A and B are shown apart, each in its own frame.
Chain A
């Protein structure tokens, strides 16, 4: 296994979050935005116009929002931004490409020479980003019998392509890279990251070489990986396939392979004997982009906090453990929920740590069981903290708090309302508990005798009886204390 070194690079296509297409003002189809299941898919070829249908004479105009989103991604990925950037035509023939070329960027990507840090186990590794550029999506083909049907609704939807250097050396690193990139794009509001709806697609370049060798092995490109699972499984398969080939003395060809999800194998898609000749040239219909520092700085100001920055801040500001931080910063909604709770906690004297425990414990449990995201939760962060305050001031006990949280989750009611309506308030009334303690002691003379005989652990049984008599509402500490006093003095 360790006789070989693996070298992997990843290309990611991420769909940007825009209302209209890249070069015309047709609406981006709902299924492509990641708008959730409430939205009906648009009928085929109902979101198209002469530009995205490639009709002669139609002129493209670039979408400002899309350009700025890619510039923000490039900044977040620590790229160098060029002063001038333009679009190029990538020429090839395929029925889903109505113009006979795709408008892309080849010579002057909006970002170059950047990096992103990933963490595998306890080690931070820097992955170089060689290119971040903007291009347009193609139409969608469906094969029916001897025909192909084309829906051009997706034609011209803006895509950002992010290309890494061949810097990864294991499936684990590929996973962390893909997750961190998705997290980053979602934090910045640049891509929904919704894999089911194709918002992120990958290609992987995999080559292996004998350990210590300095020459790169033949590069195999795996195309059309539409999920994390497909990305990771195909890379794993490809590493093993190439190692087997080298061990058997077989050549590894430079080629493009597809991924068969069902069989779990990669297969040769296209031999490179006619290396594709895309004849890139500058798009004459679109003027160049002049990107001055004023524009770049304005975008930098607009940039939301990045996952890495947030993790660092959470550690210093709230004193959370790395594990809690990882859970709370996984997506922006969770991080913001926690921060709102931490802020409310300052007023009600609930520590961030306690809020973090309840969010990552009970609240996550409820969300997972209901298959819901924190963005849809019906409990405002402040009410969560109010619940914790009730607990802290002994108005309710822990089992009651868990019950109230569940009701809050289901009904959206405030914690105090639930406690009052269900009569859940903790009984911390000394006289009332004292009289309960007396009747429990009267009812169990044998246990009292055991206690006096030195078996002090039976106290727990007696406390349990008081809890039972109050349907779990008694303050257990006070009950225990009162029972103990009575047993000693009796």
Chain B
């Protein structure tokens, strides 16, 4: 079972603000999902090499040739706020 602190930390990494009630609710659900995934830990993988991907492909590489991009207008078409040809968002303070 995840602690409320762990759930809060994970929510923070995902930029989600959760109320204490939501931490309770989602904490239970998330723990259940982790427990289920943990079923896999019962398998003996001693003889299995670690796998980064299950794609049966390798070395899929493109030649370094530049091709046309989207127009600026198309690139910005989905943006709720635009200024000077750029995406505008609320200021980020570090």
**A66 nearest in chain B by CB position:** B64
Q: Once the chains bind, are B64 and A144 in contact (CB under 8 Å)?
A: no
Main secondary structure of the interface of B (DSSP, over half): loop
B19 on the A face (CB < 8 A): no
Measured in the bound complex, the distance between the Cα atoms of B69 and A144 in whole Å is: 27
**A50 nearest in chain B by CB position:** B70
**B93 nearest in chain A by CB position:** A143
Contact with B along A194-228 (1 / 0, CB 8 A): 00000000000000000000000000000000000
A414 on the B face (CB < 8 A): no
Q: Once the chains bind, are B90 and A48 in contact (CB under 8 Å)?
A: no
Q: With A45-B85, A45-B86, A94-B92 known to touch, is A64 a contact of B64 (CB < 8 Å)? A: yes
Per the 8 Å Cβ criterion, residues 9-56 of A in contact with B are 18-20, 25-28, 43-50, 53
Q: Once the chains bind, are B91 and A148 in contact (CB under 8 Å)?
A: yes
With a CB–CB cut-off of 8 A, which chain A residues contact B92? 94-95, 141, 143, 148
With a CB–CB cut-off of 8 A, which chain B residues contact A334? none
A93 on the B face (CB < 8 A): yes
B58 on the A face (CB < 8 A): yes
Contact with A along B34-77 (1 / 0, CB 8 A): 00000000000000000011010111111111110111100110
Measured in the bound complex, the distance between the Cα atoms of B69 and A26 in whole Å is: 6
Q: Identify which of B13, B71, B75, B91 contacts A152 (C-beta below 8 A).
A: B75
With a CB–CB cut-off of 8 A, which chain B residues contact A251? none
Measured in the bound complex, the distance between the Cα atoms of B66 and A19 in whole Å is: 6
With a CB–CB cut-off of 8 A, which chain B residues contact A45? 72, 75-76, 85-87
Measured in the bound complex, the distance between the Cα atoms of B67 and A64 in whole Å is: 15
Write the nearest CB–CB distance from A397 to chain B, whole angstroms: 53
With a CB–CB cut-off of 8 A, which chain B residues contact A282? 52-53
With a CB–CB cut-off of 8 A, which chain A residues contact B64? 18-20, 63-66
Write the nearest CB–CB distance from A289 to chain B, whole angstroms: 6
A445 on the B face (CB < 8 A): no
A399 on the B face (CB < 8 A): no
Measured in the bound complex, the distance between the Cα atoms of B9 and A421 in whole Å is: 81
Contact with A along B7-34 (1 / 0, CB 8 A): 0010011110000000000000000000
Q: Once the chains bind, are A147 and B89 in contact (CB under 8 Å)?
A: yes
Q: With A44-B72, A46-B71 known to touch, is A62 a contact of B62 (CB < 8 Å)? A: yes
Q: With A61-B62, A62-B60, A150-B86 known to touch, is A274 a contact of B9 (CB < 8 Å)? A: yes
A366 on the B face (CB < 8 A): no
Q: Identify which of A50, A143, A287 contacts B59 (C-beta below 8 A).
A: A287
A288 on the B face (CB < 8 A): yes
With a CB–CB cut-off of 8 A, which chain B residues contact A290? 58-59
Q: Once the chains bind, are A48 and B91 in contact (CB under 8 Å)?
A: no
Q: Chain B CB within 10 Å — which of A45, A94, A107, A141 has the most?
A: A45
20 contacts between A and B (CB under 8 A): A25-B65, A26-B69, A45-B85, A53-B75, A61-B60, A62-B60, A64-B61, A64-B63, A84-B52, A93-B14, A108-B52, A141-B92, A145-B91, A146-B90, A147-B83, A150-B86, A274-B9, A279-B13, A287-B59, A290-B59
Q: Please name 14 further chain A to chain B contacts, defined as beta carbons within 8 Å, in addition to the given A63-B61, A277-B9, sorted by A numbering.
A: A20-B62, A27-B67, A44-B84, A45-B85, A45-B86, A65-B63, A148-B92, A149-B84, A149-B88, A274-B9, A286-B60, A287-B60, A288-B53, A288-B55
The interface of chain A, by Cβ under 8 A from chain B, is 18-20, 25-28, 43-50, 53, 61-67, 84, 86, 91-95, 107-108, 141-152, 269-270, 274, 277, 279, 282, 284, 286-290
The interface of chain B, by Cβ under 8 A from chain A, is 9, 12-15, 52-53, 55, 57-67, 69-72, 75-76, 81, 83-92, 94
